[in-house]
Chain A
Amino acid sequence: MGEVDPGKNILLSIDNSENSRRAIRYVANIVGSSGDYRITILNIIEDMGEDFFPSAAERQTHIEKQKQTSAALLAEARNIMREHAVPEECIMTEQVTAPSGYIAESIIRHAQHGNKGTVVVGRRGISKKEEFLFGSVSSKIVNYAKDCTVWVVE
């Protein structure tokens, strides 16, 4: 596949949520069968670190399970794209691990390194106090992503 217009080089970051599935369907509808777009579907595996596990072995087991879940999510996303006639060669999937609390930063970094002109995320609509305490990945991306367009799908 040749060079893609950065605006049509989309990074779609997904997780296991309903609003994320809405974001996948939204992008699939926009892109359709045109073949002009390149979509990288990204799932971030959250690494909670050693503190949340009684042993290194249990932490590793958890990460392996997360990887399996992630692979299933990415496969599901690819199927949704196929159902909307998005050409197979336009779809890439990627699985990446990032530390807890740095999910948005990881997504932004991916967009920058991959020259992605458009970043798409779902948003589940959290309360202000939840955003204050634990942050909002989508809000952080909107505030800090540079040189790209951000679509937030609710």
Chain B
Amino acid sequence: MEINDKEAVEALARQYLGEDSSPKAFRFVSADMDFFAVDYNDILALGDRYYLIRGVETEKRFGIEDEPKYWVKRVVDLRDNYVKKIIKFCFFEEFASHIGGIKFKLARSPAKEARILKKVERHPNFMQGRTVEQIRGNPIRVLDFINGPSLYEHLMSLRMEYDEYFHQTLPSLLDRLIVCFRAMGWLHDQDEVHGDIRQDHILIDKADGLFRWIDFDYNYSTKGSRFGYDMFGLGNILAAVVGGGSCTLQQLKAEQPEVLNRLYYEDTNIVWSNRVVNLKKVYPQIPEGLNRVLMHFSAGATVFYETVWELLEDLEEARADL
């Protein structure tokens, strides 16, 4: 259907919202306006499409109020049956960051994201998207909306005793996580890094249950190890999945103080010493093989996984024993 008529576009927006929820008049905007000011119920004209703004994405900070990302909008495509999309105004940013007291450089790179989106096109374990316009040198991207919670949200939503989690839920989660890790190994083989691997950068697609990587526009400075920082992220995710959520010393003090007496510094995360990695000491039902994989990310580790494939070799063997 050809849509080149403002009234027709408005009609589609009213049909979607319902007359009672529609504003008296819609504001039509284009991406070269102040993108950050494009707001709820605005209609954004981009290329040959019209998108109704439904809100902004938020940056989820664990335990802290979500922070709005005004440069990332949730929309519906008025031309394509109200399919949900994400529209992102991309910009370059370089900044110093630190982790565990170590200073390093991070860059938010539109070039990186564009490169990876091209490489992962049609790969089922990565978000999909394309660049539609350039506004003053900044790309505007339209990304497919993934309907489903993040892995972090999913783990937080589970309400069951660990033993039930271990037997009923963990095996299937691990299977899908292994596929997801294989996708990251594939990305590393393309000489690319994700750059910001965390539990909330995996979305679980409700349509098929697949784990999909999102938000891979960061890169990090490193001299000696191309993939170390990514590997650290994978280890954190694995520990969270095996433990049914991240296991911290603070939680144990509140809920299982007797366990604290059996823990040493070597049992904790190599970077974040408040997180327990030797989870077998907390949950004895965890098999030794699986725990050994986790211990590669501990303060007591003397050998580290250098590649995803090394990690997967051990993890798949441990999974087979579950």
Contacts and interface: CB of A to CB of B under 8 A. Distances in A.
Please indicate whether A and B come from the same complex rather than being unrelated chains: yes
Interface of A: 46, 48-54, 100-104, 127-137, 139-140
A134 B224 contact: yes
Given A101-B223, A137-B223, A50 B102 contact: no
24 contacts: A50-B111, A50-B112, A51-B111, A51-B219, A52-B109, A52-B219, A52-B221, A54-B92, A100-B221, A101-B226, A102-B226, A103-B224, A127-B102, A129-B299, A130-B102, A132-B228, A132-B232, A132-B270, A133-B100, A133-B229, A134-B229, A135-B228, A137-B223, A140-B225
Contact of A101 (B92, B100, B225, B271): B225
Contacts of A104: 224
B119 interface: no
Contact of A52 (B102, B107, B227, B232): B107
Q: Across chains A and B, which 5 residue pairs bring their CB atoms closest together, nearest first?
A: A135-B224, A135-B225, A101-B226, A51-B109, A51-B219
Nearest to A98: B223
A48 B105 CA distance: 11
B94 interface: yes
B266 to A, nearest CB: 11
Given A100-B222, A101-B224, A134 B92 contact: no
B304 interface: yes
B224 A139 contact: yes
Given A51-B219, A133-B102, A136-B225, 19 more contacts: A50-B111, A50-B112, A52-B94, A52-B219, A53-B92, A54-B92, A103-B223, A128-B270, A128-B299, A129-B270, A132-B228, A132-B271, A132-B301, A133-B100, A133-B225, A133-B271, A135-B224, A135-B225, A137-B224
B99 interface: yes
A140 B102 CA distance: 20
Q: Is the interface of B mostly helix, strand, loop or mixed?
A: loop
B118 to A, nearest CB: 14
B301 to A, nearest CB: 8
Interface centre among B99, B104, B228 (most CB of A within 10 A): B228
A46 B109 contact: no
A130 B232 CA distance: 11
Nearest to A46: B223
A25 B219 CA distance: 36
Nearest to B306: A135
B175 to A, nearest CB: 27
A4 to B, nearest CB: 29
Contacts of A52: 94, 105, 107, 109, 219, 221
A14 B271 CA distance: 29
A11 to B, nearest CB: 17
A21 B258 CA distance: 52
A100 B232 CA distance: 18
Interface in B190-227: 219, 221-227
